[in-house]
Homo-oligomer: A and B are copies of this chain.
Amino acid sequence: MTAADLTPLDDLPLLDHHVHGALTTDLARPEMESALTESDRPVPGWMTQFDSQLGLAVRRWCAPVLDLPAHVAPEEYLRRRSELTAAEVTGRLLRASGIATWLVDTGIAGPGVLSPAEMAAASGARAWEVVRLEAVLEQLAREGFSAAELPARFPEVLAERTASAAGLKSVVAYRSGFDFEPNRPSDSEVVAAAERWLRAGGGRVVDPVLLRFLLWAGVDRGLPLQLHTGHGDPDLRLHRCDPLLLTEFIELVEPTGTELVLLHCYPFHRNAGHLAQVYPHVFFDVGLAINHTGLRSDSVVAESLELAPFAKVLFSTDAYGPAELHHLGAVLWRRAMRRTLAPWVEDGVCSAEDALRVASMIGRDNARRLYGC
């Protein structure tokens, strides 16, 4: 029995349960360099972000999609990219990913960022929305509301805003870290916090009471609730984003029946595996880390398949920006799964059928059941 038996994995239609709209504007080199890192600082002139796992992966796997040989130099890649229209590049990369369904976090929108409907159109796939809790409140503040009505009104607004959404997302990791007091705040605490926030002009929600209010409103809404976890941009303090710090919150949510999805988790993905084993309502992926660890994502994916039952692990790209990231998220995940599973089959410790079934669960079926789509 050989690894060749795993070739169906290459054609498995994937469900990317957490992604952002692809950016379809033309990209000059500095913008492409910035898209290859979570850093929000300019890439220093004495280095290039192409000298990274993600940079190597672009040259290896995206170049052929644009009719170039693998391993072309970054300049050649960017020249060819600018020869084609941005829409053409985006369409080619998205379609070649083999992703059949996108769950699109619309919390970061902007000019040139595809909406869920546009993602579907560009890729020939289906798309659903994932609504970011903090964005709903910030939008509400722009529209105007009185602090006193927030506890009653926000759930109504959220219900309306998520009428056709597949899930919810929280970025409390970026706004405060996970070492927060996990209990549901009282209405009077929420009103007082909202008054302070509105008086200060609204804007980015960082008040800990409001962040907890949003989390619990999300829990009450009942859709699967995604939480960014682990590595991300320097807005977050990584040691405060270990998912283990959510343990008390996880236990408080358990009786409600709402399911929690820990996103990415690197380098705490083994910790996430523990939580996914012991709590029935906890799921996770290693999304963002797959792109950023590139050729090493095989190890990261393998480590994510230790403690967690296979029904609790999901696939995502967490791609944001140029469609190279959407494409690579799928290419690298398929490669990582193949490299993880092949030795199991070759050593006779599981059948190819079992290995493919596990890949299908993680790549699609678990998310279908969880999000109902």
Interface positions of A (Cβ within 8 A of B) = 37-44, 46-49, 51-53, 56-57, 59-60, 70-71, 231, 233-234, 237-239, 242, 244-245, 247, 251, 266-267, 270-271, 273-275, 277-280, 289, 292-296, 299-300, 302-303, 305-312, 343-344, 348-351, 354, 358, 361, 369
Q: Is B278 a contact partner of A274 (Cβ separation < 8 A)?
A: no
**Smallest Cβ-Cβ distance to A312: which chain B residue:** B47
Q: Which 3 A-B pairs have the closest CB atoms?
A: A47-B311, A267-B270, A239-B244
- Tell which of A231, A273, A312 has the most Cβ of chain B within 10 Å: A231
Contact of A296 among B251, B306, B309 (CB under 8 A): B306
Q: Is A369 a contact partner of B310 (Cβ separation < 8 A)?
A: no
Contact of A309 among B51, B71, B358 (CB under 8 A): B51
- Tell which of A47, A349, A361 has the most Cβ of chain B within 10 Å: A349
- Tell which of A49, A350, A358 has the most Cβ of chain B within 10 Å: A350
State the CA gap A307–B237 with chains docked (Å). 16
Q: Is B242 a contact partner of A247 (Cβ separation < 8 A)?
A: no
Report copies per complex: 3
Contact of A46 among B52, B60, B311 (CB under 8 A): B311
State the CA gap A344–B297 with chains docked (Å). 12
Q: Is A348 a contact partner of B70 (Cβ separation < 8 A)?
A: yes
Contacts of A278 in B (CB 8 A): 37-41, 233-234
State the CA gap A210–B114 with chains docked (Å). 53
Contacts of A237 in B (CB 8 A): 244, 247
Q: Is A309 a contact partner of B279 (Cβ separation < 8 A)?
A: no
The verdict on A305 contacting B296 (CB below 8 Å), with A247-B237, A277-B38 known, is yes
Q: Is B295 a contact partner of A344 (Cβ separation < 8 A)?
A: yes
Contacts of A306 in B (CB 8 A): 53, 289, 292-294, 296, 300
Contact of A47 among B51, B296, B309, B350 (CB under 8 A): B309
Contact of A277 among B37, B70, B300 (CB under 8 A): B37
Q: Is A279 a contact partner of B41 (Cβ separation < 8 A)?
A: yes
Contacts of A348 in B (CB 8 A): 60, 70
CB distance from A175 to the nearest CB of B (A): 16
- Tell which of A38, A294, A295, A300 has the most Cβ of chain B within 10 Å: A295
CB distance from A179 to the nearest CB of B (A): 10
**Smallest Cβ-Cβ distance to A293: which chain B residue:** B306
The verdict on A267 contacting B271 (CB below 8 Å), with A296-B305, A350-B60 known, is yes
Contacts of A302 in B (CB 8 A): 296, 299
State the CA gap A351–B295 with chains docked (Å). 13
Contacts of A350 in B (CB 8 A): 56, 59-60, 71, 295
